[in-house]
Structure formats: structure tokens, C-alpha cells
Amino acid sequence: MELNAEVIELSKLAEGKPAAVFPLGLPVLLIRLGAEVFALENRCAHMGCPLAAGKLDGHILRCPCHDWRFDIRNGRFLDAPELAVKTYAVKVKDEKVFIRIP
């Protein structure tokens, strides 16, 4: 079963600034870039550091702990694409951000 969980109002997401949210208790990271919003698990695939404290450069997010870099469009670790953090489908409706939780 899938669930569309309302996460936040779009106006509360600052451009390019990762935001940690907890829909249904899950650690999720949202990033707004222009008209798009990306949602990833807020837990690094290496040792679990919260990625919300990472540095964003375009679509690449660098983990604050040991500098692993992830593409926020698909969650892939750049140096070994077989590793990834989970991503969630995002929908923006009526200025609210929803993510699909499987």
C-alpha cells in the first residue's frame, strides 16, 4: 500500500536549503530547486549521518560526515552508483508538498 503524506507547505522550503522533516516518523530530507522538490532519506548510505546538514552544489549533496556525494535526483552515490539513499516521489498540490511513501 502506498500513502501520499503531506509534509510541509511549499513556502516554508527555502531554495537550495536542505530541510529535515519526519512524515510518519520517517527521516526525510527535502530540497527545493526552482519549481522542483526532491525528497530523500535523511540518512547517509555510509554510516547514517543526517544528510540535511550536508552541502549542496547543483544536484549534488555532500554528506557532512565523510564527504560522500549523492545525486539528489536519484539518490545515487557518485563514486559507486550501486549504492544509494532512498528517494521518494514528490507532488506539489495547492502549495503543499506531498511525498509518496511505499
> Which of 70-91 are b and which e, b meaning 16 or more Cβ less than 10 Å from the residue's Cβ?
bbbeebbbeeeeeebbebbebe
Q: Residue 30: beta bridge partners? A: 19, 39
Contact 68, 46 (CB under 8 A): yes
Shortest separation between residue 76's beta carbon and ligand FES, angstroms: 14
Find the distance separating the first CA and the last CA of the chain, reported in whole Å: 6
Shortest separation between residue 4's beta carbon and ligand FES, angstroms: 29
User: Which stretches of the chain bind ligand FES, using CB under 6 A?
Assistant: 44, 46-47, 49, 63, 65-66, 68
Shortest separation between residue 65's beta carbon and ligand FES, angstroms: 4
CB nearer to ligand FES: pick between 52 and 63? 63
CB nearer to ligand FES: pick between 5 and 65? 65
CB nearer to ligand FES: pick between 7 and 52? 52
